Amino acid sequence: DTEVTQTPKHLVMGMTNKKSLKCEQHMGHRAMYWYKQKAKKPPELMFVYSYEKLSINESVPSRFSPECPNSSLLNLHLHALQPEDSALYLCASSTGLLNQPQHFGDGTRLSIL
Amino acid sequence: EDQVTQSPEALRLQEGESSSLNCSYTVSGLRGLFWYRQDPGKGPEFLFTLYSAGEEKEKERLKATLTKKESFLHITAPKPEDSATYLCAVQAAGGRMNRDDKIIFGKGTRLHILP
């Protein structure tokens, strides 16, 4: 069982819907990440939060909006997505210290109709 | 340009047939190299971190090694449950501050162990 919990596991939404993905960790980690992964491709970094502050935004379209309410929670708000946004969305966390590995959740499988 | 290349893309082995997966990298400054295992429909599972050339880490049938240009993941006497995609990721120094570092994933090796 992973120590990073993501909900929901699956999400189907229309292009005009607004939804949110949630991620939670209780390992005391201070860095949290959102990745997008397409089939048979490696994860692509979207956002990094360090000590609850957004530190990296990899030129992600504004229809994706991250939020870090506290050190244990990370949200990804979705609005007006496109069919090409269908993918597995992975959340990860790390201690925030240099060179420490990231621990991933099992992701949310997102399908845009 | 920082780059991480994994080979082969896919590998089919008989149960018990040992082999190695390769991760070659070209980065300006290596802070750490990570190996992950990913099963279909799951998130990557952390296996090893390597920091400097000559370092080795072992876990059950897996052994990871690191040189200045590449890392190998050796699989000894694999079992069908070792079938998965193995991902290599490199943390590359982006500047004086950690927040400038980049995490670069390779495309992975899909390993299939036949019983």
| pLDDT more than 90, % of chain A | 76
Beta carbons of A71 and A30 less than 8 angstroms apart: yes
- pLDDT, one tens digit per residue, over A9-40 is 999 999 888 999 999 999 999 999 999 999 98
**A30 at B interface, C-beta within 8 A:** no
- pLDDT, one tens digit per residue, over B82-115 is 999 999 999 888 655 555 678 899 999 999 999 9
Q: Which of B34, B98, B105 sits opposite A101 (nearest CB)?
A: B34
In angstroms, the first-to-last Cα distance of chain B is 41
Query: Which regions in chain A score pLDDT beneath 50?
Result: none
| pLDDT more than 90, % of chain B | 80
Write the CB contacts of A61 (distance below 8 Å, at least 6 apart in sequence): none
Q: Which of B32, B42, B107 sits opposite A42 (nearest CB)?
A: B107
Beta carbons of A107 and A83 less than 8 angstroms apart: no
Count interface pairs A-B at CB distance under 8 A: 53
Beta carbons of B107 and B7 less than 8 angstroms apart: no
Contact B46 A103 (CB under 8 A): yes
What is chain A's length?
113
What is the reported pLDDT for B101? Answer: 74
What is the reported pLDDT for B96? Answer: 54
Contact A104 B32 (CB under 8 A): no
